[in-house]
Amino acid sequence: MDSPAALVLAASVRTRRSRALALGLLACLWPLAALTPARAADAVLEQAAKSGEVLMVGPADSPPLVTIGPKGEPEGYAIELGRRIDRQLKAELGNNVRIRFAPVDNAAVTLGAVSSGKAGLACGVPFRWEHEQLVDFSLPIGLSGLRLLTRSGSLDGSPASLAGQPIAVVEGSLGAGLLASLQPNAKAVSVPSLAQAVTALEQKRVTGVLGDANVLAGLQHQRRLSGLALVPEQPYVSYGVGCIVPENNSRLLNVVNLAIAGLIQGYLEGRPEAVASVAPWVGPTGVLVVPAERVRAFFESVLLSREGFQLAAPSPEAPR
């Protein structure tokens, strides 16, 4: 059984806005600009064999994917996946290679870092066909969509209700593009991140925030915000969420997919560590409060999309 401590998380704080967070044993980060873009086939693993690391990036204020724990260390569903991928990477290249996590401002910066090869990995990225031309996506790790976080009873989420309303959207995001077509008369308020957008909603500078429903629910849960609601009931747009690697890095993508499949199968078989990696973030008592049967149905569909599988007898701790 894998040990939860197999991947040590370390953090080095410089300022409140700029923190260096590590997956592995390193506490100091290289600037992204200092890394050479990965262009050749499997360049990420070739570079990792020399440098001893693969850089993983993502916004650090996007629960349930990544958030900062009470000890200043990154935690969340994406971090749990990072641990799994780290172990699979060691099986592929040896124990001298590790994953290192560096926070970035938002999803657009995440995509740019991976597509350019400055980073080798990110998890929790919404699938979009136009982005598939820039990076390679893994097996899906979850489902999400675009919804509006607003004060309860103020907006119902219909396009008509958004007319003339100040709505916060992240610059360059799918939500920003959708708002313009959904309701041209809405007043888009551009912000760098969903966390800052929710702050604007708390301060009543905007009427709503249009963005990823999972992250909005995670921020609401993390900040213990009452009197807010996600509308409409069904997302404006639904999408799968996965991990991404630079194009033409098939060996790395195989490592990522094997790690994801191993976590999924472990969860379905009720292995305690696998359940503990998923349930606190997306389970019925987790951040997203997703019923266990829905989690199981999704995970089963992910495995069946690639090959048939046979589960071991569930343990007494298996989620029902």
In the prediction, which pLDDT does 279 show? 96
Please state the separation of Cα 167 from the chain's center in Å.
Answer: 23
Sign of the dihedral through C-alpha 109, 112, 115, 118: negative
Answer yes or no: is 220 within a domain: yes
Q: Is the pLDDT of residue 82 over 50?
A: yes
Give me the mean pLDDT over the 44-72 stretch.
Answer: 93
Q: What is the pLDDT of residues 122-147, one digit of tens each?
A: 999 999 999 999 999 999 999 999 99
**236-280: pLDDT as tens digits:** 999 999 999 999 999 999 999 999 999 999 999 999 999 999 999
d(CA 230, CA 228): 7
Better-scored residue on pLDDT, 211 or 5: 211
Q: In angstroms, rounded to a whole number, what is the distance separating the alpha carbons of residues 179 and 185?
A: 9
pTM attached to this predicted model: 0.82
Residues 284 and 230 in one domain: no
Q: Do 192 and 210 fall into the same domain?
A: yes
* Each residue's pLDDT tens digit, 203-240: 999 999 999 999 999 999 999 999 999 999 999 999 99
* pLDDT surpasses 90 at 292: yes
Same domain, 155 and 94: no
- Residue 6 pLDDT more than 80? no
138 and 151 both lie in a single domain:
no
Show the domain range for 132.
4-143+239-304
124 and 261: one domain? yes
Q: How confident is the model at residue 42 (pLDDT cuts 50, 70, 90)?
A: confident
Q: Give the count of beta carbons closer than 10 Å to the beta carbon of residue 35.
A: 17
The total of structural domains in the chain comes to 2
Residues 6+ apart with CB under 8 A from 216: 147, 149, 194, 198, 209, 230
Give the whole-angstrom CA distance, residue 102 versus residue 298.
29
Burial state string for 129-151 with b = 16 or more CB within 10 A and e = fewer than 16? eebeeebbbbbbbbbbbbbbbbe
Residues 107 and 22 in one domain: yes
**What is the spatial distance between Cα 65 and Cα 194, in angstroms, rounded to a whole number?**
13
CATH code assigned at 190: 3.40.190.10
**Residues above pLDDT 70, as percent of the chain:** 83
